[in-house]
Structure 1
């Protein structure tokens, strides 16, 4: 059975999908067709139900809960760290209310968190890799960075304004779910569980063969050195990637409740989770 699977060209996704991409794990009667695009594009594809399994921003799930289950595996979860607001000069978060801030997509969890932390910003949507340059050139007042830019922004001479992961930890005291994998309900529960199982096995392979998986992931590292690549992957591929914990499930509920209270979403979705098969 052919399954269209979406994931990003980022190191954390590449690390998790290494076992699948290299043929190192059994495919359980499935043939994956990979669709590799940035997270904002994958969010849009999911809105159109184009993909059988895909990475999405956790912020997008309320609009997808009728058509997709959340896979219990493959999540990207921060623990006291997350997307960063950066600028060229020292600023307080309060100074950015009403200001132009470059964001990596209106459907991203990073942008949802930004709106909760600093209301009334003026978002300027652009590809995430262009954000630091836009901040340096002064075309925006600040930028919201994700992926490896969370570790390398100082190399470009940029300064931190607000770590949204720290803000979340101080406010909520729970993990910060940023990315999810979702599986289309129309596949049926049995097939959906097989799909989730293949991804689970690929993540287990990566943990068991970290040097090989890191070497594979660094093909997508956009020049990030090995030490920072390993650090970034370790931040977002962890135990939460193998199973969504109870605290993480509660964090999703709180995120959606806060977003509903701020009128960012219309309803708090029921969290439908599809589990992989037992090992």
Structure 2
């Protein structure tokens, strides 16, 4: 791994701030780095875990050297951060879902109270792009959406993360799959989240960290997900089956390399948001 070797041979001891979410796909990717099983000699990480919307806000403030962010937020911070090619949460069957406690006409949401997982999330951007009436938007922590929609506090809500595996137990109904809508519109994977590194680091440093992430994923692949204490210690859902489904859905080929399709998905997101004046 030439970039890692470059770092080892040319860098003095370095400490970088690294931030990601406690969701199983992120802790799966970074479990081996957090435990020290894979490392770059001389490179130390100050690790922070936050909800994705907090990470988005901190990225606007340029708080961390390396961070997970929503792809919507990435479009807003390109001047200060560069996109990494590894660690992304993209896919074809993993988009945000609009849910309600009872069947609703999705073309008549103007008077509905709709809960979203954050004003900087890709879920919020996709909802705006799909052309549905925004109704009355409320931004709350993602894990509160299902119970607060089920209680009747909100008429509907857009869910992300592991909520897609558990919402039926709360008696909720899917109104629209925003990931499916995106694929039908573009033919591309839905670009949910990505990792970014502060501009100012060299290309060798960027590649060295990307290679380290790949080593960490490879190490995670060798072990049973359900027995990983780091993943379980941060997960909201403890069911082994849900943890496995979550990780297998969001840690995929795009996590190893965005590739042309992943890049095209981000470009399509930027183009559509720009056309609607959302990024201005």
Give the TM-score taking structure 2 as reference length.
0.90
Alignment of 1:103-252 (within 5 A): 103-117=116-130, 118-211=132-225, 214-252=228-266
Q: 1:59 aligns with which of 62, 72, 79?
A: 72
Structure 1 unaligned residues grouped into runs of 5+: 267-279
Structure 2 CA distance for aligned equivalents of residues 183 and 260 of structure 1: 23
Asked if 1:68 is matched to 2:67, the reply is no
Cα drift, residue 211 of structure 1: 3.7
Structure 2 CA distance for aligned equivalents of residues 84 and 191 of structure 1: 37
Cα drift, residue 193 of structure 1: 2.5
Q: Relative to structure 1, is the Cα distance of residues 106 and 179 closer, same or farther in structure 2, using a 3 angstrom cutoff?
A: same
The CA deviation string for residues 39-62 of structure 1, in whole angstroms up to 9 with x for no partner, is 111111111111000000001112
Cα drift, residue 213 of structure 1: 7.1
Structure 2 CA distance for aligned equivalents of residues 217 and 203 of structure 1: 13
Structure 2 CA distance for aligned equivalents of residues 265 and 249 of structure 1: 18
Q: Relative to structure 1, is the Cα distance of residues 14 and 127 closer, same or farther in structure 2, using a 3 angstrom cutoff?
A: same
Q: Relative to structure 1, is the Cα distance of residues 29 and 223 closer, same or farther in structure 2, using a 3 angstrom cutoff?
A: same
What RMSD over aligned residues (CA atoms) do the two structures have, in Å? Answer: 1.6
Aligned partner of residue 234 in structure 1, secondary structure: helix
Asked if 1:90 is matched to 2:85, the reply is no
Aligned partner of residue 207 in structure 2, secondary structure: helix
Aligned partner of residue 22 in structure 2, secondary structure: coil
The CA deviation string for residues 97-116 of structure 1, in whole angstroms up to 9 with x for no partner, is 45221011000001100111
The CA deviation string for residues 9-51 of structure 1, in whole angstroms up to 9 with x for no partner, is 1111010011101211122421011111011111111111110
Give the TM-score taking structure 1 as reference length.
0.90
| 4+ residue runs over 4 A deviation | 212-215
Structure 1 CA distance for aligned equivalents of residues 26 and 241 of structure 2: 17
Structure 1 CA distance for aligned equivalents of residues 224 and 199 of structure 2: 32
Q: How many residues align?
A: 266
- Bigger Rg, which one: 2
Cα drift, residue 260 of structure 1: 1.1
Structure 2 CA distance for aligned equivalents of residues 61 and 160 of structure 1: 28
Q: 1:78 aligns with which of 77, 85, 91?
A: 91
Structure 2 unaligned residues grouped into runs of 5+: 1-13
Aligned residue number for residue 115 of structure 2:
102
Aligned residue number for residue 51 of structure 2:
38
Aligned residue number for residue 253 of structure 1:
267
The CA deviation string for residues 137-177 of structure 1, in whole angstroms up to 9 with x for no partner, is 22221011111101100011111111111111111111111
